Amino acid sequence: MNQDKREDLLPLAQKSFDLCVELYAHVNRFPRAHKSLLGRDLLTASQQMFVELIRATHRRERLLVLEDADIHLETVRLLVRLSHRLSFLSHKGYEAISQNLTEIGIGY
């Protein structure tokens, strides 16, 4: 793979990693019963997005991998919105996470 193409994706992968870290902090404050349900799904989807972005850095044909990452991105968006609607996520946290998701989405 062309090194420049790989380096184009590395900032997205880093943003995705940072988002995973941020989500862990928020999910840790979810009500106990929902940490293992909604929280787990949210963290899993964000981790899968991160893994797909890392995979894309190592692929010559990365479009299919990026499409998979995009599906996980949309899943994270939905679960974040649900977490906010259920009042498990503050408005400030929701705005910050949404901004990060937008930045990741713009990148690919």
pLDDT at 5: 54
CATH at residue 51: 1.20.1440.60
Give the pLDDT band (50/70/90) at residue 1: very low
| Distance set, CA 54 to CA 6, 31, 57, 74, 100 (Å) | 9, 31, 5, 18, 17
Contact criterion met (CB below 8 Å) for 21 and 99: no
Residue type, 13: A
58-67, 71-80, 89-98: the lowest-pLDDT one: 58-67
Number of domains, the chain: 1
Give the pLDDT band (50/70/90) at residue 78: very high
Residue 26 has pLDDT above 90, yes or no: yes
Q: Which domain holds residue 67?
A: 3-107
Summary mean pLDDT of the chain: 91
How far, in Å, CA of 73 to CA of 94, rounded? 15
pLDDT at 95: 97
How far, in Å, CA of 62 to CA of 12, rounded? 14
Q: Give the CB-side neighbour count of residue 68, counting CA atoms within 13 A.
A: 14
